[in-house]
Amino acid sequence: MGKRVGIPRTLLYYYYYPQWNTFLRELGHEVVVSAPTSKRIVDEGVKLALNDACIPIKLYHGHVVDLLDKDVDAFFIPRYVSMDPGARMCPKFLGLPDIIRAKLEDQIPLYVDTKVDNRKRKHIEEKFYRGIAKQLGNNPSEAKLAFAKSQEVFEDFRRLLHTGMSYLDALQLYNAGKDLKAEYQARKDIDPFDHPLNDPEDPSQPRRLHFAVIGYVYLIYDDFINANLWKKMETLNVSLHTFDQVTEEALDYQTQRMHHDLFWMFSNRVVKGAFHFLHQDKIDGIIHITAFGCGPDAMTTKLIELEAKNRTHIPYMRVLLDEHTGDAGLMTRLESFTDMIRRRDSAAAKAQNLKETG
């Protein structure tokens, strides 16, 4: 008997959704995702959540409230303690099911709050997914098959991201039911830094710029909270690259630049992603997106800033988001950042010309 399982469209939705969705569907459940973030959702979240909490946690409250109206049988609020051995998630993620339970105890019919704790040993994920299946009333053998399938889909999905595709584009392909393997084969030889619009031979065309967007997945992919970053940058003729397009091996390679690994899995990846892009000379600029009141980011920001100081030829900009972030102000900042890089480009070209001509 299938249940309607509600998934809030924020936080780890932007990382694990294909796996969750495949797994739950394989078990015969219906997946309901909350509406894309809107003013109403932000307001609901701000009303319900503690006012010192960071904006992602407030958003999470809003999305859960949104799901309350959708006649959902079970709420998917898993407790992600640790995925990478040795690193944990942010403490707020660890306490998330308890926070939501304290706020909305009576209104939620069933919590799916199984915990995954991979600090000590590997391959504990299967146990985690078996726990989810148990909470939803499925038997372990079903769970095993569904997990195998979901793992396969997730691996294909990540591989597709590593070709340089953005999560949102890849998610569209996944939702449309496309064969992810075939898509990967079609794209695997294309260099993400080689854009069809970019023609180096034609000087009348402005050069396609490549920026790295550093930040947590739930900030860089949520179009409402980052004020439509992706569309804006497209209009400015800029391609964006994110840390989840970098393979894990490449991220691990950056460990050598750190004294001591951070405790938080995503912060670790974000910092290593930033280091990866800073030390790879294909990037024209780095935009670091962070949320007001984000605990780990108070630490990562300093680390990235110090490293960016040593690599001065790559401009670095930090954008701080909260529920009051204005569209216009952000647009101005992004435009001026892009303009600054383009000017530097043309100044360098002029200097080159002068040198050659005489």
Say how far apart CA 120 and CA 166 lie, in whole Å.
Answer: 32
Position 136: which residue type? L
Min dist. Cβ of residue 135 to other proteins (A): 14
Say how far apart CA 121 and CA 293 lie, in whole Å.
Answer: 32
Per CB under 8 A, does 49 bind other proteins? yes
Position 304: which residue type? I
Phi, psi of 311 (to 5 degrees): -115, 65
- Ranges within 113-172 binding other proteins (CB under 8 A): 115
Min dist. Cβ of residue 356 to other proteins (A): 39
Element (H, E) at 201: none
Which is nearer to other proteins, 108 or 180 (by Cβ)?
108
Provide DSSP, 3-17. -EEEE-SSTTHHHHH
Min dist. Cβ of residue 268 to other proteins (A): 11
- Ranges within 326-345 binding other proteins (CB under 8 A): none
Name which position in 8, 18, 62, 97 contacts other proteins (CB under 8 A): 97
Per CB under 8 A, does 303 bind other proteins? yes
Per-residue contact string for residues 233-262; x = within reach of other proteins by CB under 8 A: --------------------------xx-x
Which is nearer to other proteins, 224 or 263 (by Cβ)?
263
Min dist. Cβ of residue 104 to other proteins (A): 10
Per CB under 8 A, does 91 bind other proteins? yes
Burial pattern 296-307, b for ≥16 Cβ within 10 A else e, equals bbeebbebbeeb
Per CB under 8 A, does 297 bind other proteins? yes
Per CB under 8 A, does 301 bind other proteins? yes
- Ranges within 199-218 binding other proteins (CB under 8 A): none
Say how far apart CA 229 and CA 327 lie, in whole Å.
Answer: 10
Per CB under 8 A, does 65 bind other proteins? no
Scanning 136-206, the segments in alpha helix (DSSP H) are 140-162, 167-175, 180-187
For residue 85, the tally of other CB atoms under 10 A from its CB is 12
Per CB under 8 A, does 46 bind other proteins? no
> Between the CA of residue 344 and those of 199, 315, 327, 341, what are the distances in Å?
19, 11, 26, 5
Closest by CA position to 77, among listed 30, 20, 35 = 20
Residues at the contact surface with other proteins, assessed by CB under 8 A: 49-50, 52-53, 57, 79, 81, 88-92, 94-95, 97-99, 102-103, 105, 115, 259-260, 262-264, 292-299, 301-303, 306
